Chain A
Amino acid sequence: MAMKTNGALLKLEEVNKQFDGLLAIADVSLCLYSGEIVSLIGPNGAGKTTILNLISGVYPPTSGEIFLNGESITGLKPYQVAQKRVARTFQSVQIFQDMTVIENVLLGLHHRLRSGFVQGMVHLPAERKEEKRAIDQAGATLEKFGIGHLAYRKANSISLKEQRCLEIARSIVSAPCLLLLDEPASGLNIRETEEMADIIKGLRQQGLTILLVEHDMNLVMSIAHRIFVLHHGLKIAEGSPEEIQRNPEVIRAYLGGTHNI
Protein backbone atom coordinates (compact mmCIF):
# COMPACT_ATOMS: atom_id res chain seq x y z
CA MET A 1 0.00 0.00 0.00
CA ALA A 2 2.80 2.40 0.86
CA MET A 3 4.14 1.82 -2.63
CA LYS A 4 0.86 2.72 -4.16
CA THR A 5 0.54 6.03 -2.39
CA ASN A 6 4.22 6.90 -1.95
CA GLY A 7 3.60 7.57 1.73
CA ALA A 8 1.04 10.24 0.96
CA LEU A 9 -1.58 11.04 3.58
CA LEU A 10 -4.20 11.77 0.96
CA LYS A 11 -4.12 10.75 -2.64
CA LEU A 12 -6.60 11.40 -5.43
CA GLU A 13 -6.10 9.17 -8.45
CA GLU A 14 -7.61 10.27 -11.75
CA VAL A 15 -10.78 11.43 -10.09
CA ASN A 16 -13.72 12.42 -12.30
CA LYS A 17 -17.02 13.89 -11.27
CA GLN A 18 -19.88 14.33 -13.65
CA PHE A 19 -23.11 16.15 -12.74
CA ASP A 20 -25.65 15.19 -15.40
CA GLY A 21 -24.04 16.60 -18.55
CA LEU A 22 -21.43 18.69 -16.78
CA LEU A 23 -17.94 17.38 -16.14
CA ALA A 24 -17.10 19.20 -12.92
CA ILE A 25 -13.82 17.44 -12.21
CA ALA A 26 -11.73 15.91 -15.00
CA ASP A 27 -8.98 13.42 -14.23
CA VAL A 28 -7.62 15.20 -11.21
CA SER A 29 -4.77 13.52 -9.37
CA LEU A 30 -3.12 15.01 -6.35
CA CYS A 31 -1.15 14.08 -3.25
CA LEU A 32 -0.94 15.53 0.23
CA TYR A 33 1.89 14.67 2.61
CA SER A 34 1.76 14.77 6.37
CA GLY A 35 2.35 18.17 7.93
CA GLU A 36 1.77 20.19 4.77
CA ILE A 37 -0.50 23.11 4.10
CA VAL A 38 -1.66 22.63 0.53
CA SER A 39 -3.89 25.14 -1.15
CA LEU A 40 -6.40 24.59 -3.90
CA ILE A 41 -7.07 27.70 -5.95
CA GLY A 42 -8.90 28.54 -9.14
CA PRO A 43 -11.55 30.87 -10.51
CA ASN A 44 -15.19 30.53 -9.45
CA GLY A 45 -16.69 27.27 -10.66
CA ALA A 46 -13.30 25.63 -11.14
CA GLY A 47 -14.37 22.71 -8.94
CA LYS A 48 -12.54 23.44 -5.70
CA THR A 49 -15.45 22.81 -3.37
CA THR A 50 -16.39 19.78 -5.47
CA ILE A 51 -12.98 18.29 -4.65
CA LEU A 52 -13.57 18.84 -0.93
CA ASN A 53 -17.02 17.28 -1.23
CA LEU A 54 -15.55 14.27 -3.02
CA ILE A 55 -12.92 13.77 -0.35
CA SER A 56 -15.39 14.15 2.51
CA GLY A 57 -17.90 11.81 0.90
CA VAL A 58 -20.77 14.22 0.20
CA TYR A 59 -20.98 12.46 -3.17
CA PRO A 60 -18.90 9.66 -4.71
CA PRO A 61 -16.62 10.27 -7.69
CA THR A 62 -17.91 9.13 -11.10
CA SER A 63 -14.60 7.36 -11.54
CA GLY A 64 -11.19 7.32 -9.90
CA GLU A 65 -10.01 6.49 -6.40
CA ILE A 66 -9.36 8.41 -3.21
CA PHE A 67 -6.87 7.03 -0.68
CA LEU A 68 -6.28 8.05 2.91
CA ASN A 69 -3.09 6.63 4.40
CA GLY A 70 -3.05 4.11 1.56
CA GLU A 71 -6.58 2.91 2.30
CA SER A 72 -9.33 3.58 -0.21
CA ILE A 73 -12.07 5.86 1.12
CA THR A 74 -13.83 6.10 -2.23
CA GLY A 75 -17.61 5.96 -1.85
CA LEU A 76 -17.67 6.20 1.95
CA LYS A 77 -20.46 8.25 3.52
CA PRO A 78 -19.54 11.62 5.09
CA TYR A 79 -19.90 10.27 8.63
CA GLN A 80 -17.57 7.38 7.79
CA VAL A 81 -14.95 9.72 6.35
CA ALA A 82 -15.25 11.86 9.50
CA GLN A 83 -14.72 8.75 11.61
CA LYS A 84 -11.49 8.17 9.63
CA ARG A 85 -10.42 11.50 11.12
CA VAL A 86 -10.89 13.76 8.15
CA ALA A 87 -12.55 16.98 9.33
CA ARG A 88 -13.87 19.87 7.30
CA THR A 89 -15.39 23.31 7.41
CA PHE A 90 -17.82 24.85 4.95
CA GLN A 91 -17.73 27.77 2.55
CA SER A 92 -20.63 29.49 4.27
CA VAL A 93 -20.28 28.97 8.01
CA GLN A 94 -22.26 25.90 9.01
CA ILE A 95 -22.65 25.96 12.74
CA PHE A 96 -25.77 24.95 14.61
CA GLN A 97 -27.36 28.33 15.23
CA ASP A 98 -29.91 27.16 17.79
CA MET A 99 -27.33 25.52 20.03
CA THR A 100 -24.77 26.98 22.37
CA VAL A 101 -21.18 27.48 21.28
CA ILE A 102 -19.93 24.62 23.45
CA GLU A 103 -22.62 22.25 22.20
CA ASN A 104 -21.33 22.90 18.69
CA VAL A 105 -17.84 21.86 19.75
CA LEU A 106 -19.21 18.81 21.57
CA LEU A 107 -20.80 17.73 18.29
CA GLY A 108 -17.33 17.78 16.79
CA LEU A 109 -16.36 15.25 19.45
CA HIS A 110 -19.41 13.09 18.74
CA HIS A 111 -17.64 10.28 16.95
CA ARG A 112 -14.95 10.05 19.62
CA LEU A 113 -17.54 9.45 22.36
CA ARG A 114 -19.32 6.19 22.98
CA SER A 115 -22.52 6.66 25.01
CA GLY A 116 -25.58 5.40 23.17
CA PHE A 117 -29.34 5.65 23.61
CA VAL A 118 -29.60 3.52 26.74
CA GLN A 119 -26.71 5.20 28.56
CA GLY A 120 -28.17 8.56 27.62
CA MET A 121 -31.58 7.64 29.00
CA VAL A 122 -30.31 6.33 32.33
CA HIS A 123 -27.40 8.78 32.77
CA LEU A 124 -25.09 6.12 34.14
CA PRO A 125 -22.02 7.38 36.04
CA ALA A 126 -19.79 6.33 33.13
CA GLU A 127 -21.91 8.38 30.73
CA ARG A 128 -21.81 11.44 33.00
CA LYS A 129 -18.05 11.09 33.37
CA GLU A 130 -17.56 10.87 29.62
CA GLU A 131 -19.82 13.88 29.13
CA LYS A 132 -17.91 15.88 31.71
CA ARG A 133 -14.55 15.01 30.15
CA ALA A 134 -15.93 16.02 26.75
CA ILE A 135 -17.17 19.35 28.11
CA ASP A 136 -13.75 20.03 29.63
CA GLN A 137 -12.03 19.20 26.38
CA ALA A 138 -14.44 21.31 24.33
CA GLY A 139 -13.97 24.21 26.73
CA ALA A 140 -10.18 23.95 26.50
CA THR A 141 -10.37 23.98 22.69
CA LEU A 142 -12.55 27.10 22.78
CA GLU A 143 -9.99 28.76 25.06
CA LYS A 144 -7.28 28.02 22.51
CA PHE A 145 -9.25 29.96 19.92
CA GLY A 146 -9.88 32.79 22.33
CA ILE A 147 -13.62 32.25 22.45
CA GLY A 148 -13.84 30.38 25.76
CA HIS A 149 -15.87 33.18 27.31
CA LEU A 150 -18.62 32.61 24.71
CA ALA A 151 -19.08 28.91 25.56
CA TYR A 152 -22.65 29.20 26.82
CA ARG A 153 -23.84 31.85 24.37
CA LYS A 154 -26.17 30.89 21.53
CA ALA A 155 -24.08 30.28 18.43
CA ASN A 156 -26.12 32.74 16.34
CA SER A 157 -25.27 35.59 18.70
CA ILE A 158 -21.51 35.72 18.01
CA SER A 159 -19.62 37.55 15.23
CA LEU A 160 -18.71 36.03 11.87
CA LYS A 161 -15.03 35.81 12.81
CA GLU A 162 -15.99 34.06 16.04
CA GLN A 163 -18.30 31.74 14.09
CA ARG A 164 -15.45 30.83 11.73
CA CYS A 165 -13.22 30.14 14.73
CA LEU A 166 -15.99 28.08 16.28
CA GLU A 167 -16.36 26.05 13.10
CA ILE A 168 -12.62 25.33 13.05
CA ALA A 169 -12.62 24.54 16.78
CA ARG A 170 -15.45 22.09 16.18
CA SER A 171 -13.58 20.43 13.33
CA ILE A 172 -10.26 20.02 15.15
CA VAL A 173 -11.48 19.13 18.66
CA SER A 174 -11.50 15.44 17.69
CA ALA A 175 -7.81 15.61 16.71
CA PRO A 176 -8.22 14.82 13.01
CA CYS A 177 -5.27 13.89 10.80
CA LEU A 178 -6.51 15.91 7.84
CA LEU A 179 -8.40 19.19 7.86
CA LEU A 180 -10.26 20.49 4.82
CA LEU A 181 -10.84 24.25 5.02
CA ASP A 182 -13.28 25.79 2.55
CA GLU A 183 -12.60 29.53 2.26
CA PRO A 184 -11.97 30.23 5.94
CA ALA A 185 -11.26 33.92 5.22
CA SER A 186 -14.30 34.76 3.14
CA GLY A 187 -16.20 37.65 4.67
CA LEU A 188 -13.35 38.59 7.00
CA ASN A 189 -11.55 41.94 6.92
CA ILE A 190 -7.78 42.29 6.44
CA ARG A 191 -6.91 42.17 10.12
CA GLU A 192 -9.18 39.20 10.75
CA THR A 193 -7.71 37.42 7.72
CA GLU A 194 -4.21 37.86 9.18
CA GLU A 195 -5.43 36.36 12.45
CA MET A 196 -6.91 33.47 10.48
CA ALA A 197 -3.51 32.90 8.80
CA ASP A 198 -1.91 32.67 12.24
CA ILE A 199 -4.56 30.23 13.38
CA ILE A 200 -4.01 27.97 10.36
CA LYS A 201 -0.23 28.08 10.81
CA GLY A 202 -0.72 27.21 14.47
CA LEU A 203 -2.84 24.19 13.54
CA ARG A 204 -0.10 22.94 11.24
CA GLN A 205 2.45 23.28 14.02
CA GLN A 206 0.26 20.95 16.07
CA GLY A 207 0.79 18.34 13.36
CA LEU A 208 -2.33 18.81 11.28
CA THR A 209 -2.25 18.44 7.53
CA ILE A 210 -4.40 21.04 5.85
CA LEU A 211 -6.05 21.30 2.46
CA LEU A 212 -7.07 24.91 2.01
CA VAL A 213 -9.50 26.22 -0.59
CA GLU A 214 -9.21 29.98 -0.62
CA HIS A 215 -9.75 33.05 -2.79
CA ASP A 216 -7.60 35.42 -0.78
CA MET A 217 -4.25 35.22 -2.60
CA ASN A 218 -2.30 36.98 0.15
CA LEU A 219 -3.42 34.36 2.60
CA VAL A 220 -2.66 31.48 0.24
CA MET A 221 0.77 32.77 -0.80
CA SER A 222 1.79 33.45 2.79
CA ILE A 223 0.93 30.09 4.32
CA ALA A 224 0.74 27.38 1.63
CA HIS A 225 3.69 25.08 1.03
CA ARG A 226 2.29 23.87 -2.25
CA ILE A 227 -0.52 25.02 -4.48
CA PHE A 228 -2.77 23.22 -6.94
CA VAL A 229 -4.53 25.30 -9.55
CA LEU A 230 -7.86 24.17 -10.97
CA HIS A 231 -9.51 25.58 -14.05
CA HIS A 232 -12.77 24.22 -15.48
CA GLY A 233 -12.32 21.02 -13.47
CA LEU A 234 -8.79 20.43 -14.76
CA LYS A 235 -5.62 20.67 -12.74
CA ILE A 236 -3.54 23.11 -14.78
CA ALA A 237 -0.59 23.63 -12.46
CA GLU A 238 1.02 22.66 -9.20
CA GLY A 239 4.03 23.90 -7.31
CA SER A 240 5.35 26.24 -4.67
CA PRO A 241 3.78 29.71 -4.31
CA GLU A 242 6.73 31.22 -6.23
CA GLU A 243 6.36 28.77 -9.09
CA ILE A 244 2.63 29.34 -9.30
CA GLN A 245 3.06 33.10 -9.37
CA ARG A 246 5.44 32.75 -12.33
CA ASN A 247 3.47 30.09 -14.21
CA PRO A 248 2.24 31.71 -17.47
CA GLU A 249 -0.68 29.34 -17.86
CA VAL A 250 -1.97 30.17 -14.38
CA ILE A 251 -1.61 33.85 -15.06
CA ARG A 252 -3.49 33.53 -18.33
CA ALA A 253 -6.28 31.21 -17.14
CA TYR A 254 -6.76 32.29 -13.60
CA LEU A 255 -5.72 35.89 -13.44
CA GLY A 256 -6.98 36.93 -16.86
CA GLY A 257 -3.76 38.67 -17.85
CA THR A 258 -3.13 40.62 -14.66
CA HIS A 259 0.39 40.00 -13.39
CA ASN A 260 -0.35 41.41 -10.05
CA ILE A 261 -0.88 38.47 -7.73
Chain B
Amino acid sequence: MTKTRKKWIYFSALAGVVALLPLLVKGGYYLLILNIIAINGLVVLGLNLLIGFAGQISLGHAAFFGMGAYFSAIFTAMYNTPPWPTLLGVMIFTAVVAFVLGIPTLRLAGHYLVMATLGFNIILYILMVQMEHWTGGPSGFAGIPPLHLGSLPIQGDLSCYWLLWTFFLLVFFVSLNLVDSRVGRALRAIHENELVANALGINTERYKVVIFAISAAYASLAGSLYAHYLSFISPKTFDIFYSVQIVTMVVVGGIGNLWGGLLGAAVLTALPEILHAMRDYALLLYGLILMGVLVFFPEGLLPGLVKLVGRGRLVNGNEN
Protein backbone atom coordinates (compact mmCIF):
# COMPACT_ATOMS: atom_id res chain seq x y z
CA MET B 1 0.00 0.00 0.00
CA THR B 2 1.47 3.34 -0.97
CA LYS B 3 1.97 6.10 1.55
CA THR B 4 -0.54 8.34 -0.18
CA ARG B 5 -3.25 5.64 -0.17
CA LYS B 6 -2.65 4.98 3.50
CA LYS B 7 -2.91 8.68 4.26
CA TRP B 8 -6.24 8.92 2.45
CA ILE B 9 -7.65 5.87 4.23
CA TYR B 10 -6.70 7.07 7.70
CA PHE B 11 -7.87 10.56 6.95
CA SER B 12 -11.24 9.37 5.62
CA ALA B 13 -11.66 7.26 8.76
CA LEU B 14 -11.00 10.31 10.91
CA ALA B 15 -13.45 12.40 8.88
CA GLY B 16 -16.02 9.62 9.31
CA VAL B 17 -15.56 9.56 13.07
CA VAL B 18 -15.87 13.35 13.19
CA ALA B 19 -19.08 13.17 11.15
CA LEU B 20 -20.63 10.46 13.36
CA LEU B 21 -19.60 11.69 16.81
CA PRO B 22 -22.44 14.24 17.23
CA LEU B 23 -24.93 11.38 16.78
CA LEU B 24 -23.42 9.52 19.71
CA VAL B 25 -22.65 12.48 21.93
CA LYS B 26 -25.59 14.06 23.68
CA GLY B 27 -25.37 17.22 25.65
CA GLY B 28 -23.55 20.48 25.23
CA TYR B 29 -20.89 19.57 27.79
CA TYR B 30 -19.40 16.78 25.71
CA LEU B 31 -19.64 18.84 22.56
CA LEU B 32 -17.81 21.63 24.34
CA ILE B 33 -14.96 19.26 25.18
CA LEU B 34 -14.84 17.99 21.59
CA ASN B 35 -14.75 21.57 20.35
CA ILE B 36 -11.91 22.49 22.67
CA ILE B 37 -10.07 19.40 21.41
CA ALA B 38 -10.39 20.73 17.85
CA ILE B 39 -9.01 24.11 18.94
CA ASN B 40 -6.15 22.65 20.95
CA GLY B 41 -5.58 20.22 18.10
CA LEU B 42 -5.01 23.11 15.71
CA VAL B 43 -2.43 24.75 17.97
CA VAL B 44 -0.74 21.39 18.59
CA LEU B 45 -0.62 20.75 14.84
CA GLY B 46 1.36 23.92 14.21
CA LEU B 47 3.66 23.38 17.16
CA ASN B 48 4.29 19.79 16.10
CA LEU B 49 5.43 21.01 12.68
CA LEU B 50 7.87 23.28 14.48
CA ILE B 51 9.11 20.86 17.17
CA GLY B 52 8.84 17.59 15.33
CA PHE B 53 10.00 18.68 11.90
CA ALA B 54 12.23 21.71 12.35
CA GLY B 55 13.47 20.69 15.81
CA GLN B 56 12.69 24.06 17.40
CA ILE B 57 10.73 24.59 20.59
CA SER B 58 8.37 27.49 21.19
CA LEU B 59 7.06 28.32 24.65
CA GLY B 60 5.00 31.20 23.29
CA HIS B 61 2.24 29.61 21.29
CA ALA B 62 -0.32 30.81 23.82
CA ALA B 63 0.69 34.32 22.78
CA PHE B 64 -0.04 33.65 19.10
CA PHE B 65 -3.26 31.91 20.13
CA GLY B 66 -4.10 35.01 22.18
CA MET B 67 -3.23 37.37 19.33
CA GLY B 68 -5.77 35.61 17.15
CA ALA B 69 -8.43 35.72 19.85
CA TYR B 70 -7.91 39.32 21.01
CA PHE B 71 -7.42 40.93 17.61
CA SER B 72 -10.49 39.17 16.22
CA ALA B 73 -12.45 40.22 19.31
CA ILE B 74 -11.31 43.84 19.31
CA PHE B 75 -11.80 44.43 15.60
CA THR B 76 -15.14 42.67 15.17
CA ALA B 77 -16.74 43.77 18.46
CA MET B 78 -15.39 47.33 18.76
CA TYR B 79 -14.94 48.33 15.14
CA ASN B 80 -17.53 46.06 13.51
CA THR B 81 -15.14 44.69 10.90
CA PRO B 82 -16.41 41.58 9.06
CA PRO B 83 -15.27 38.47 11.03
CA TRP B 84 -13.96 36.28 8.20
CA PRO B 85 -11.61 38.82 6.57
CA THR B 86 -10.55 39.91 10.05
CA LEU B 87 -9.67 36.33 10.94
CA LEU B 88 -7.57 36.04 7.80
CA GLY B 89 -5.88 39.41 8.32
CA VAL B 90 -5.04 38.60 11.94
CA MET B 91 -3.60 35.27 10.87
CA ILE B 92 -1.31 36.96 8.37
CA PHE B 93 -0.33 39.63 10.89
CA THR B 94 0.49 37.00 13.52
CA ALA B 95 2.60 35.10 11.01
CA VAL B 96 4.51 38.30 10.21
CA VAL B 97 5.12 38.97 13.92
CA ALA B 98 6.44 35.42 14.34
CA PHE B 99 8.59 35.85 11.26
CA VAL B 100 10.17 39.01 12.68
CA LEU B 101 10.62 37.33 16.07
CA GLY B 102 12.13 34.29 14.39
CA ILE B 103 14.70 35.99 12.18
CA PRO B 104 17.20 36.94 14.90
CA THR B 105 16.54 33.97 17.20
CA LEU B 106 16.41 31.13 14.69
CA ARG B 107 19.64 32.23 13.06
CA LEU B 108 21.47 31.39 16.24
CA ALA B 109 22.26 27.77 16.91
CA GLY B 110 20.73 26.39 20.08
CA HIS B 111 17.49 27.00 21.87
CA TYR B 112 17.24 30.77 21.76
CA LEU B 113 13.75 30.51 20.36
CA VAL B 114 12.54 29.06 23.67
CA MET B 115 13.73 32.12 25.55
CA ALA B 116 12.46 34.60 22.96
CA THR B 117 9.00 33.04 22.77
CA LEU B 118 8.80 32.71 26.56
CA GLY B 119 9.53 36.43 26.90
CA PHE B 120 7.09 37.27 24.12
CA ASN B 121 4.33 35.31 25.84
CA ILE B 122 4.91 37.11 29.15
CA ILE B 123 4.93 40.53 27.48
CA LEU B 124 1.72 39.79 25.60
CA TYR B 125 0.04 38.51 28.76
CA ILE B 126 0.92 41.75 30.56
CA LEU B 127 -0.49 43.75 27.64
CA MET B 128 -3.75 41.78 27.73
CA VAL B 129 -4.12 42.52 31.43
CA GLN B 130 -2.99 46.14 31.34
CA MET B 131 -4.51 47.56 28.16
CA GLU B 132 -7.96 47.58 29.69
CA HIS B 133 -9.44 50.02 27.21
CA TRP B 134 -9.05 47.50 24.38
CA THR B 135 -8.83 44.13 26.07
CA GLY B 136 -11.13 44.56 29.04
CA GLY B 137 -8.22 43.78 31.34
CA PRO B 138 -8.23 40.87 33.79
CA SER B 139 -12.03 40.60 33.77
CA GLY B 140 -11.96 39.71 30.11
CA PHE B 141 -13.60 40.68 26.84
CA ALA B 142 -17.28 39.83 26.37
CA GLY B 143 -19.74 40.15 23.51
CA ILE B 144 -17.65 38.85 20.63
CA PRO B 145 -19.97 38.32 17.64
CA PRO B 146 -20.23 34.83 16.09
CA LEU B 147 -18.94 33.93 12.65
CA HIS B 148 -21.52 33.83 9.88
CA LEU B 149 -22.12 31.47 7.00
CA GLY B 150 -23.83 33.74 4.50
CA SER B 151 -26.34 35.50 6.70
CA LEU B 152 -26.59 32.56 9.11
CA PRO B 153 -24.73 33.01 12.42
CA ILE B 154 -22.70 29.99 13.51
CA GLN B 155 -23.83 29.73 17.12
CA GLY B 156 -24.26 27.01 19.66
CA ASP B 157 -22.11 23.99 20.42
CA LEU B 158 -23.33 21.80 17.56
CA SER B 159 -22.94 24.38 14.76
CA CYS B 160 -19.56 25.32 16.13
CA TYR B 161 -18.66 21.63 16.28
CA TRP B 162 -19.04 21.46 12.50
CA LEU B 163 -17.20 24.74 12.01
CA LEU B 164 -14.26 23.89 14.26
CA TRP B 165 -13.79 20.32 13.08
CA THR B 166 -14.09 21.32 9.42
CA PHE B 167 -11.26 23.75 10.01
CA PHE B 168 -9.26 21.20 11.92
CA LEU B 169 -9.64 18.55 9.23
CA LEU B 170 -8.75 21.03 6.51
CA VAL B 171 -5.59 22.23 8.23
CA PHE B 172 -4.73 18.68 9.28
CA PHE B 173 -4.95 17.47 5.70
CA VAL B 174 -2.88 20.34 4.39
CA SER B 175 -0.25 19.62 7.05
CA LEU B 176 -0.16 15.91 6.18
CA ASN B 177 0.50 16.97 2.60
CA LEU B 178 3.24 19.38 3.61
CA VAL B 179 5.05 16.75 5.65
CA ASP B 180 4.98 14.46 2.62
CA SER B 181 6.65 16.89 0.21
CA ARG B 182 9.98 18.44 -0.69
CA VAL B 183 9.56 20.98 2.10
CA GLY B 184 8.63 18.35 4.71
CA ARG B 185 11.67 16.31 3.77
CA ALA B 186 13.91 19.35 4.12
CA LEU B 187 12.43 20.13 7.53
CA ARG B 188 13.04 16.59 8.76
CA ALA B 189 16.60 16.84 7.48
CA ILE B 190 17.08 20.06 9.45
CA HIS B 191 15.74 18.32 12.55
CA GLU B 192 18.14 15.41 12.16
CA ASN B 193 21.30 17.26 11.14
CA GLU B 194 21.23 20.94 10.33
CA LEU B 195 24.83 21.16 9.14
CA VAL B 196 24.42 18.39 6.59
CA ALA B 197 21.04 19.75 5.47
CA ASN B 198 22.71 23.08 4.81
CA ALA B 199 25.57 21.42 2.91
CA LEU B 200 22.97 19.79 0.64
CA GLY B 201 21.71 23.18 -0.50
CA ILE B 202 18.85 23.65 1.95
CA ASN B 203 18.52 27.22 3.22
CA THR B 204 18.01 26.03 6.79
CA GLU B 205 17.50 29.47 8.35
CA ARG B 206 14.74 30.36 5.95
CA TYR B 207 12.93 27.06 6.41
CA LYS B 208 13.02 27.36 10.19
CA VAL B 209 11.69 30.92 10.16
CA VAL B 210 8.92 30.13 7.66
CA ILE B 211 7.71 27.03 9.50
CA PHE B 212 7.71 29.05 12.73
CA ALA B 213 5.54 31.70 11.07
CA ILE B 214 3.18 29.03 9.72
CA SER B 215 2.85 27.39 13.12
CA ALA B 216 2.05 30.80 14.64
CA ALA B 217 -0.61 31.31 11.95
CA TYR B 218 -2.25 28.00 12.93
CA ALA B 219 -2.36 29.17 16.56
CA SER B 220 -3.83 32.51 15.51
CA LEU B 221 -6.54 30.77 13.48
CA ALA B 222 -7.38 28.62 16.50
CA GLY B 223 -7.51 31.75 18.68
CA SER B 224 -9.90 33.60 16.38
CA LEU B 225 -12.19 30.56 16.16
CA TYR B 226 -12.07 30.20 19.94
CA ALA B 227 -13.07 33.84 20.48
CA HIS B 228 -16.00 33.69 18.05
CA TYR B 229 -17.13 30.34 19.47
CA LEU B 230 -17.20 31.26 23.17
CA SER B 231 -17.89 35.01 22.64
CA PHE B 232 -15.89 35.67 25.80
CA ILE B 233 -12.13 35.60 26.35
CA SER B 234 -9.87 36.50 29.28
CA PRO B 235 -6.09 36.74 29.66
CA LYS B 236 -5.90 33.64 31.88
CA THR B 237 -6.44 31.40 28.84
CA PHE B 238 -3.38 32.78 27.10
CA ASP B 239 -0.76 32.66 29.83
CA ILE B 240 2.45 30.72 29.79
CA PHE B 241 0.78 27.62 31.26
CA TYR B 242 -1.24 27.13 28.10
CA SER B 243 2.01 27.25 26.09
CA VAL B 244 3.48 24.56 28.33
CA GLN B 245 0.30 22.51 28.06
CA ILE B 246 0.44 22.61 24.26
CA VAL B 247 4.09 21.50 24.28
CA THR B 248 3.08 18.67 26.63
CA MET B 249 0.36 17.59 24.20
CA VAL B 250 2.93 17.40 21.41
CA VAL B 251 5.35 15.40 23.54
CA VAL B 252 2.74 13.03 24.94
CA GLY B 253 1.15 12.41 21.54
CA GLY B 254 4.43 11.90 19.70
CA ILE B 255 6.90 14.48 18.50
CA GLY B 256 6.91 14.65 14.72
CA ASN B 257 3.77 12.53 14.44
CA LEU B 258 0.79 14.62 13.38
CA TRP B 259 -1.69 11.86 14.22
CA GLY B 260 -0.03 11.50 17.60
CA GLY B 261 -0.46 15.23 18.14
CA LEU B 262 -4.21 14.87 17.67
CA LEU B 263 -4.25 12.01 20.18
CA GLY B 264 -2.19 14.06 22.63
CA ALA B 265 -4.56 17.01 22.30
CA ALA B 266 -7.60 14.76 22.77
CA VAL B 267 -6.21 12.89 25.78
CA LEU B 268 -4.85 15.91 27.64
CA THR B 269 -7.96 18.00 26.96
CA ALA B 270 -10.35 15.28 28.10
CA LEU B 271 -8.28 13.92 30.99
CA PRO B 272 -8.84 16.76 33.48
CA GLU B 273 -12.59 16.54 32.76
CA ILE B 274 -12.63 12.80 33.37
CA LEU B 275 -10.56 13.15 36.52
CA HIS B 276 -12.87 15.86 37.83
CA ALA B 277 -14.82 13.26 39.77
CA MET B 278 -11.69 12.42 41.77
CA ARG B 279 -11.74 15.89 43.30
CA ASP B 280 -8.61 16.36 45.41
CA TYR B 281 -6.82 13.48 43.76
CA ALA B 282 -7.41 14.78 40.23
CA LEU B 283 -4.15 16.71 39.99
CA LEU B 284 -2.15 13.87 41.52
CA LEU B 285 -3.60 11.38 39.06
CA TYR B 286 -3.07 13.75 36.14
CA GLY B 287 0.58 14.01 37.09
CA LEU B 288 0.96 10.27 37.53
CA ILE B 289 -0.64 9.54 34.17
CA LEU B 290 1.64 12.08 32.48
CA MET B 291 4.67 10.57 34.15
CA GLY B 292 3.56 7.07 33.21
CA VAL B 293 3.18 8.02 29.56
CA LEU B 294 6.62 9.62 29.44
CA VAL B 295 8.27 6.69 31.23
CA PHE B 296 6.61 3.90 29.24
CA PHE B 297 6.15 5.68 25.90
CA PRO B 298 9.09 8.07 25.70
CA GLU B 299 8.65 8.53 21.95
CA GLY B 300 4.99 9.46 22.45
CA LEU B 301 1.68 7.76 23.00
CA LEU B 302 0.81 6.97 19.38
CA PRO B 303 4.22 5.72 18.16
CA GLY B 304 4.49 3.74 21.39
CA LEU B 305 1.08 2.13 20.95
CA VAL B 306 1.76 1.33 17.30
CA LYS B 307 4.98 -0.39 18.32
CA LEU B 308 3.15 -2.29 21.06
CA VAL B 309 0.51 -3.53 18.62
CA GLY B 310 3.23 -4.50 16.15
CA ARG B 311 5.04 -6.48 18.83
CA GLY B 312 1.79 -8.18 19.83
CA ARG B 313 1.24 -9.23 16.25
CA LEU B 314 4.76 -10.59 16.03
CA VAL B 315 4.28 -12.66 19.18
CA ASN B 316 0.99 -14.08 17.89
CA GLY B 317 2.63 -14.84 14.56
CA ASN B 318 5.38 -16.80 16.28
CA GLU B 319 2.86 -18.83 18.22
CA ASN B 320 1.10 -19.95 15.08
Contacts and interface: CB of A to CB of B under 8 A. Distances in A.
B182 A78 contact: no
Contact of A94 (B174, B175, B193, B201): B193
A236 to B, nearest CB: 29
A42 interface: no
A79 interface: yes
Contacts of B199: 56, 58, 78-79, 82, 88
B214 interface: yes
Identify which of A79, A98, A103, A130 gathers the most chain B CB atoms within 10 Å of its CB: A79
B181 A99 contact: no
Contacts of A111: 200-202
A83 B189 contact: no
B25 interface: no
A82 B195 CA distance: 12
Given A96-B192, A97-B192, A131 B182 contact: yes
Contacts of A78: 195, 198-199
B196 interface: yes
B186, B197, B198: residue with the most chain A Cβ atoms closer than 10 Å: B198
B188 interface: yes
B7 to A, nearest CB: 10
A116 interface: yes
Nearest to A84: B201
Interface stretch (A27-35, A61-69, A119-127, A204-212): A119-127
Contacts of A107: 185-186, 189, 197, 200, 202
A206 B172 CA distance: 45
A235 interface: no
A123 B177 contact: yes
Given A58-B199, A79-B199, A110-B200, A121 B177 contact: yes
Interface residues of B, number: 26
A172 to B, nearest CB: 12
B203 interface: yes
B174 A79 contact: no
A96 B177 contact: no
B198 A123 contact: no
A106 interface: yes
Interface residues of A, number: 35
B9 interface: no
A119 B185 contact: no
A116 B195 CA distance: 21
Interface string A169-196: 0100010000000000000000000000
A56 B198 CA distance: 10
B290 interface: no
Contacts of B196: 90, 94, 96
B15 interface: no
B50 to A, nearest CB: 13
B178 interface: yes
Nearest to A180: B199
B188 A99 contact: yes
Nearest to A120: B181
Interface in B178-219: 178, 181-186, 188-189, 192-193, 195-204, 210, 214
15 contacts: A77-B203, A78-B199, A96-B189, A96-B193, A98-B188, A107-B185, A108-B200, A120-B181, A120-B182, A121-B174, A122-B174, A122-B177, A123-B181, A130-B182, A134-B182
Interface of B: 174-175, 177-178, 181-186, 188-189, 192-193, 195-204, 210, 214
Given A115-B183, A170-B200, 15 more contacts: A56-B199, A58-B199, A79-B198, A94-B193, A98-B192, A106-B185, A107-B189, A110-B202, A115-B181, A116-B183, A117-B178, A120-B177, A120-B183, A123-B177, A131-B182
